[in-house]
């Protein structure tokens, strides 16, 4: 099976002073929705993926789980996908090199090899108060979301759950996006053609 090579498109997105948003997805649905909303590239998030499996962030995923997750996101859209592989799943250089090789096989190809080291910012914590224009003014080329978008989703679950289970209040469910909004977004992005 041959795959299209997203390396050139991904590399071209990295423009100092004109940052693109690297949208970290956690499943096929979030990948398709982010693509439909205008994301130019996607990334895995070890934290967001760990949350979907009921694990905390930082070192709770196996390399096989992370690679399978990356391959799943690659197949969801035709956008370039960058992988978050924490410490390469090993301290020894040969283990990290094996992780990179396996990541390429999972569909993250030439991106790692062909991209010059960009200046990357993480839009999380205190940096969420900064605008894209502010990041651009200091030469940032890429703005990553990390697990922040997934954590925002978990905030909605947490706050709504507490309201329901502690106070019997279902009113926040009235803020949910209707299927008439989400379904077209999910259907507008076909799965990636990997042949």
Give the model's confidence band at 136: pLDDT under 50 very low, under 70 low, under 90 confident, else very high.
confident
pLDDT-wise least confident of 49-58, 110-119, 164-173: 110-119
- In the predicted model, is pLDDT for residue 16 greater than 80? yes
Whole-number pLDDT of residue 111: 46
- In the predicted model, is pLDDT for residue 113 greater than 50? no
- In the predicted model, is pLDDT for residue 194 greater than 90? no
Does CATH number 3.20.20.60 belong to domain 7-188?
Answer: yes
DSSP per residue over 47-102, as a string?
A: HHHHHHTT--SSS-S-HHHHHHHHHHHHHH-SS-EE---TTTTSSSHHHHHHHHHH
- In the predicted model, is pLDDT for residue 48 greater than 70? yes
Whole-number pLDDT of residue 118: 61
Residues 6+ apart with CB under 8 A from 179: none
pTM above 0.85, yes or no: no
Q: What is the pLDDT of residues 76-108, one digit of tens each?
A: 999 999 877 665 566 776 776 777 677 777 765
Q: What is the pLDDT of residues 65-78, one digit of tens each?
A: 888 888 999 999 99
Residue range 115-124: mean pLDDT, rounded: 71
Higher pLDDT, 34 or 122: 34
Question: Three-state SS for 173?
Answer: helix
Contact 40, 15 (CB under 8 A): no
Domain ranges for the chain, please list them: 7-188
Dist. CA 109–CA 169, nearest whole Å: 48
Mean pLDDT of the chain: 83
Dist. CA 8–CA 16, nearest whole Å: 16
Question: How many other C-beta atoms are found inside a 10 Å radius of the C-beta of residue 150?
Answer: 23
Residue 96, judged by CB atoms within 10 A of its CB (0-12, 13-18, 19+), counts as: middle
Dist. CA 100–CA 180, nearest whole Å: 40
- In the predicted model, is pLDDT for residue 34 greater than 90? yes
Contact 25, 69 (CB under 8 A): no
């Amino acid at each position: 099976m041959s795959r299209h090579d997203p390396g050139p498109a991904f590399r071209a997105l990295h423009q100092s002073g004109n940052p693109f948003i690297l949208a970290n997805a956690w499943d096929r649905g979030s990948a398709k929705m982010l693509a439909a909303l205008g994301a130019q590239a996607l990334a895995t998030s070890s934290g967001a993926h760990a949350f979907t499996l009921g694990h905390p962030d930082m070192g709770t995923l196996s390399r096989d789980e992370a690679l399978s997750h990356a391959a799943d996101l690659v197949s969801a859209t035709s956008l370039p996908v960058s992988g978050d592989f924490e410490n390469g799943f090993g301290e020894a250089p040969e283990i990290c090199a094996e992780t990179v090789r396996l990541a390429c096989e999972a569909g993250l190809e030439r991106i790692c090899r062909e991209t010059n080291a960009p200046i990357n910012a993480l839009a999380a914590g205190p940096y969420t108060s900064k605008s894209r224009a502010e990041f651009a003014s200091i030469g940032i080329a890429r703005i990553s979301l990390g697990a922040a978008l997934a954590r925002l989703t978990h905030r909605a679950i947490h706050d709504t759950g507490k309201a329901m289970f502690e106070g019997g209040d279902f009113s926040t469910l009235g803020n949910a996006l209707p299927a008439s909004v989400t379904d077209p977004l999910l259907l507008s992005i076909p799965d990636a053609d990997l042949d």
